[in-house]
Amino acid sequence: MNAAIQVSQLTKTYRIHSHRQLLATQPFSLLRRSPSGDLLVALDTVSFEIPRGRIVGIIGHNGSGKSTLLKILSGVTRQDSGTFTCHGRVTSLLELGVGFETELTGRENIYLYGSLIGLSREWIEEKERDIIAFAGIPDYIDLPIKTYSSGMLIRLAFSTAIHTEPDILLLDEVLGVGDDEFRHRSFQAIQKAVERGVTVVIVSHGLAFVGSFCSMVMCLHQGRVAAMGPAEHVVQVYMDLVSVRDMIGEVRNGNTRLRLTQGAFHVEHGDRMLSVGKGIGLNLRKWDADFSSTEAGVDILELNDRTACLRLSWGHWDLDQIWRIELVSPVCIRWIIENGDHLHEEVDGVEIEAMVSGTFRSYILPEEIRAFPETVHRGFNMEYLLARMKPRAFAGVCESLDDRHSVILDFSDCPRTGSTQVITGGNLMPGHILKRDFPTQSGNRQLSITIHLPDREATTSFFATHRHRPGVASGSLSMEVVDDGLHLVWNGSKLTCDPGLHVVSGMLTDEPPPDWESITTPSGLILRATHRILPLVSVWTLHGDGSGISWEVALEILDRIPAFHPRVSLDFDSPVPDALEFSPPTRKGRDGLELPVDPGCTSIPGVPARLRLAGGIVRTRGALHD
């Protein structure tokens, strides 16, 4: 027999009771064959067959019957009619959390779980060590699991489930939880199991995940199988279902239309769909897991031509958000998100997620445009491509390096904490997911996001507005913060090479660039560079006029630094242009030119301390040639 699971005409109907059943009103319904109540058809004559040794993904909207199907296959509930056969032993992990007893320890729960799914004590004893090692929580294993975090619970549950060596493994959204490292190991474990002939069925909302990880995908819609087969085809069917049938409203301006769906929106610009997949929406981060806005209930508070106001509520948590979406112009969308009180306190963060069309092959920074590396285009790898982009408040994508037609997500009104990532949409869905994380602890109750649509003018003005390098100038010569370094710039191009003008601690050979912060004062520009490793802030005071650029650097030492011999260094790729004149004069140092430092700053009087390190003037005699 080559099929692992055969399902034929499976039907399951739930009765919805508006209030809890009362003995007084329905005392004998337990004995009757057909109790009263409204009917909800969760599965409607579903038939399919899953071959052995496959990883099958099940996708579909909420309420499409995915979870019901897994519950029936695992035996937790029974169908009303139809039949199914599972060949071999079935182990299931349903919903978040598992069949664990909170008062018992992790170890005791392994045994309890083992006996629940019918394993002998000897078997579990043999596997116990592997289970604990895989879960990676040896220090906690003898503590009651009520002390565990949800991530630890999932680790333990998944580890127990996979080590029971089932023939069929049913997973419901479980792998969305946990850190990347554990997720990665889980995937490997699943793949190994599949090589041994185990059949895995995974319910998931993650289209990219399903596409890259599953050899076969099934899409359920309103209790029926909408499509089943290769991922590419099925995901397309699912996306069509999302974008058309789930539309709850529309906002227009000129040739641009926003299609509002359940907890997300799609952008149609001219005759092109700019968004793909789930469109533009967000995830709530809680317990190390993502909960998509597409899982929320949506009420339309206000809807007219240009604007929509929606309330999203995550009913089972009692959390809510208000979204205001406005098409300010045909090429500009304004999206304001306001967290409800409860949400603000309960959730660790909000993650904006925009899935944009695959024709956009480059990403965009305020200063430049770069092509995505090949690796991001292929397969499932959650690469933190732009980890270094943390201080930048925006990210965008464009279609090619020459063409500046782009979609830009401008987060400039948002708090600067958080990080931006770009992730591939998976090989079957040509597109990129732009993500930006906002921790809710940092007080950003309201997020305001501007989305600029492909328009040369909008892009150019975006560049002009955001291409702001803090710095001062004297004629064509300027001193500016470029690419995380303080550089000398002549006519817009860098004279100095990385890391530019910087404080050398004498401690670290390769210190990462500091975080820059600029303050404009009447006397000039103050730049504060917070060092990432040493407890040190260098404060640069710059002033530029016709006579040159005067600079001064002081150090704020926050904590004791052993063997600290600060110097100021200036690096050039090519020979230092003759026309550049330093005062006091520089000398050649270990890493480039060295600027003389104050004699008093080698002995530090105790911490915290603030001391002047060096200062001088730089000017040009005539023009420089580049």
Partner 1 sequence: MKHDSSEEIRGILAKRNLIWNLAIKDFKVRYRSATLGFLWMLLNPVLQMIVLSIVFSFIVKVPVSAPYPIFLLCGLLPWNFMAMTLGAGAPSLVNERNLVKKVYFPREIIPISVTAGHFLHFLVALALFLPFPLVILHTWSWALLALPIPILLLAGFTVSLTSLATMGDAFFRDTRFIVEALIMVWFYATPIFYPIEFLTTFADKVPGWIVPVLQLIRFNPMAGIISMFRKILLDGTLPSLFDCLYVGSITALLMIITFGLYRRHGPVVADHM
Binding residues for partner 1 (CB under 8 A): 14, 20-23, 26-27, 29-30, 71, 74-78, 83-85, 90, 92-95, 97-101, 103-104, 108, 111-113, 115-118, 120-121
Indicate the helix (H) or strand (E) that contains 540.
strand 536-545
- Beta pairing class for 587-588 and 548-557: unpaired
The torsion region of residue 254 among left (phi > 0), alpha (psi -120 to 50) and beta comes to left
Question: Which residues does 134 contact at the CB level (< 8 Å), separation at least 6?
Answer: 159, 162, 163, 185, 189
Nearer to partner 1, 90 or 193 (CB): 90
* Reduced DSSP (H G I as helix, E B as strand, rest coil) percent helix, strand, coil of the chain, to 5: 20, 45, 35
CB of 210 to partner 1, least distance (A): 23
Whole-angstrom distance, CA of residue 283 vs CA of residue 188: 26
Phi, psi of 85 (to 5 degrees): -130, 130
Shortest CB 199 distance to partner 1, Å: 17
- To partner 1, the closest distance from the beta carbon of 63 in angstroms equals 15
Cα(559)–Cα(594) distance, integer angstroms = 25
Three state DSSP letters for 195-211: HCCCEEEEECCCHHHHH
Q: Which of 345, 356, 328, 363 is nearest to 284 (CA)?
A: 345
Which residue's CB is nearer to partner 1, number 22 or number 464?
A: 22
User: How far is residue 434's CA from residue 362's CA, in Å, rounded to a whole number?
Assistant: 12
Please, what is the minimum distance in Å from the beta carbon of residue 132 to partner 1?
Answer: 19
Q: Show the tokens assigned to 605.
A: 């009087």
The smaller minimum CB distance to partner 1, of residues 15 and 129, is found at 15
Q: Could you tell me the smallest distance in angstroms from the CB atom of residue 111 to partner 1?
A: 6
Which residues sit opposite 29 in a β-bridge? none
Q: Between 122 and 374, whose beta carbon lies closer to partner 1? A: 122
> Closest CB to partner 1 among 26 and 307?
26
CB of 108 to partner 1, least distance (A): 7
Shortest separation between residue 23's beta carbon and partner 1, angstroms: 4
Cis peptide before 535 (omega within 30 of 0): no
Nearest approach in angstroms of CB 101 to partner 1 is 6
Residue placing its CB nearer to partner 1 in the complex, 131 or 343 = 131
Nearer to partner 1, 99 or 430 (CB): 99
Strands (E), 193-293: 199-203, 216-221, 224-229, 249-253, 256-261, 264-269, 272-273, 275-286, 289-292
CB of 116 to partner 1, least distance (A): 5
- Residue reference for tokens 């949400």: 343
Instruction: Compare residues 149 and 583 and give the one whose CB is closer to partner 1.
Output: 149
To the nearest whole angstrom, how small is the minimum distance from the Cβ of residue 75 to partner 1?
3
By C-beta, is 71 or 619 nearer to partner 1?
71
- Between 145 and 241, name the residue whose CB sits nearer to partner 1: 145
Of 92 and 420, which CB lies nearer to partner 1 in the complex structure? 92
Under 8 Å between Cβ of 612 and 557: no
Neighbours of 45 (CB within 10 A): 14
Q: Look at strands 249-253 and 369-371 and give their pairing.
A: unpaired
Report, in Å, the least distance between residue 9 CB and partner 1: 14
The smaller minimum CB distance to partner 1, of residues 113 and 291, is found at 113
Q: Which is nearer to partner 1, 121 or 532 (CB)?
A: 121
Q: Cβ contacts of residue 235 below 8 Å, gap of 6+?
A: 59, 207, 210, 211, 217, 219, 277, 428, 429
* CB of 176 closer than 8 Å to CB of 80: no
Q: Shortest gap between Cβ of 171 and partner 1 (angstroms)?
A: 12
* 605: phi then psi, degrees, rounded to nearest 5: -70, 5
What's the rounded Cα separation, in Å, for the pair 452 and 416? 19
CB of residue 103 to partner 1, shortest distance in Å: 4
Nearer to partner 1, 75 or 254 (CB): 75
Q: How far is the CB of 78 from partner 1 (least distance, A)?
A: 4
Q: Classify each residue of 307-343 as buried b or exposed e, where b means 16 or more C-beta atoms within 10 Å of its C-beta.
A: bbbbbbbbeeeebbbbbbbbbebbbbbbbbbbbbeeb
**Which two tokens mark 237?**
């069917």
**Tokens in use for 303?**
């809807």
